Amino acid sequence: MNNNKAKSVDFLNVLKISGAFMAFLIGSGFATGQEVLQFFVANGLKGVLGIAIILIFFVYLVNTFLKAGKELGLKRNEDVFKHYCGNIAGTFFTWYTMLFIIGIHAIMLSGAGATLNQYYGLPQIVGSGTMAILSMATLLLGLNRIVEFIAGIGPVIVAMTIFIAVAVLLGSPGGVSQGNEIIPGLNLLSASPNWILSGFLYVGLSILGLASFLPAVGTTIDNEKDIPYIAFLGPLFFTCGLALVSLALISQIDEINGQMIPVMTLANSVLPIYGTIFAGIIFLGIYSTATPLMWTVCARFAEDGTRRYRFLVVILTSVGFFGGILLPFDKLVNLIYPTMSYAGIAFLIFVVSKDLRAVMVK
């Protein structure tokens, strides 16, 4: 009887890791709406269809990476990339990913500064600096504490963002169709020329970070039965949030066009006081991605808690901070995200190919 209990699904753990997954993906791009704007809204209503592609691949990838961590003990991103790609390509993806994660970390810090600047009028350097300090302090505590800290943030942000999106959509019933007609005539920054490619590029953007983080999380899972539930719930809630935010942004495209933090504009249109609260929520969303992302780089070179690890945390966070204040937030997103997406698609082909070969051998 005790044995059966030990093998039953731990739904508390499922919710915790699903929350960590959502928090990891939210970052400055989703939380601010800038990522959603460039990947989906720029292609109008067709862009929302690309989110179905994302859901399918996220369910598959979360399941694959968590199992790889649990069954094979793959903790470092280098081990993960070499497992799927071999030594030569795996080494390339390891170094490529680490360099771009440092760039994405700069985007996160820039997004934090842009958020506090747009709503509270604080200088960009104040918001970016505060985020750098918070991220650094958490990184120094190690992986387990990082997962604990961010697990509760993801669901809260997705829930609040969905509330904003639904309120906006209910308040402007014809807004989506009107916005869809306006979009082709606007000069919006876009990640790609069509919605299908945008869906795949978004998966490509996310996969390298997920491959660096999820296998390490998988090593902490005691019961493999939890994994399918995590792989379904996390991606489902996240993509529902993506779809609703996309529709809400389309419905208010004339208002949010040119805004660094378009979701903040939506929040203010619902209720000004809600915008004040949501500014802090966006800040937490950026923190929940910036921190574990940087951990994947530091953990490649040193074990948690060592002097070398602490040194890397301080140095690399400082690099991200200075990089984040050099370029405007929206330009950073448009420069780095699509480039990383194409490399991610190449890695996705390696992952799918390896899994298909394994199935054929069986």
Work out the pLDDT band at 328, boundaries 50, 70, 90.
low
In a domain, 322, yes or no: no
Amino acid at 283: F
Q: Which two tokens stand for residue 260?
A: 């660094």
In a domain, 214, yes or no: yes
pLDDT at residue number 103: 79
Q: Give residues with Cβ within 8 angstroms of 52, minimum separation 6.
A: 199, 239
Give the Cα separation of 332 and 237 in Å (integer). 27
Work out the pLDDT band at 287, boundaries 50, 70, 90.
confident
> What region, left, alpha or beta, does residue 188 occupy, with left being phi > 0 and alpha being psi -120 to 50 degrees?
beta
In a domain, 300, yes or no: no
Q: Which two tokens stand for residue 208?
A: 């390298």
In a domain, 302, yes or no: no
In a domain, 135, yes or no: no
In a domain, 203, yes or no: yes
CA torsion sign for 212, 217, 223, 229 is negative
Give the Cα separation of 129 and 109 in Å (integer). 8
Residue 327 confidence (pLDDT) above 70? no
Q: How confident is the model over 54-103, as pLDDT tens digits?
A: 999 999 999 999 999 999 988 888 899 999 999 999 999 999 888 888 87
pLDDT at residue number 172: 86
In a domain, 123, yes or no: no
Contact 55, 346 (CB under 8 A): no
| Percent of the chain at pLDDT exceeding 70 | 93
Strands (E), 212-362: none
In a domain, 43, yes or no: yes
- The pTM of the full predicted model, rounded to 2 decimals, is 0.81
Number of domains in the chain: 1
pLDDT at residue number 3: 46
Q: Give residues with Cβ within 8 angstroms of 76, minimum separation 6.
A: 216, 299, 300
Lowest model confidence (mean pLDDT) among 23-37, 204-218, 256-270, 348-362: 23-37
Q: Give residues with Cβ within 8 angstroms of 74, minimum separation 6.
A: 68, 80, 83, 215, 216, 218, 219
Q: How confident is the model over 25-50, as pLDDT tens digits?
A: 876 556 678 788 888 999 999 988 88
Q: How confident is the model over 89-146, as pLDDT tens digits?
A: 999 999 988 888 887 788 778 878 877 887 778 888 888 899 899 889 888 887 777 8
First to last CA, the chain: 33
Give the Cα separation of 122 and 250 in Å (integer). 28
Q: How confident is the model over 178-192, as pLDDT tens digits?
A: 999 999 888 787 878
Domain span at residue 348 reads: 12-102+147-286+328-361
- What is the overall mean pLDDT for the chain? 85
Give the Cα separation of 227 and 172 in Å (integer). 39
Work out the pLDDT band at 349, boundaries 50, 70, 90.
very high
Q: Give residues with Cβ within 8 angstroms of 307, minimum separation 6.
A: none
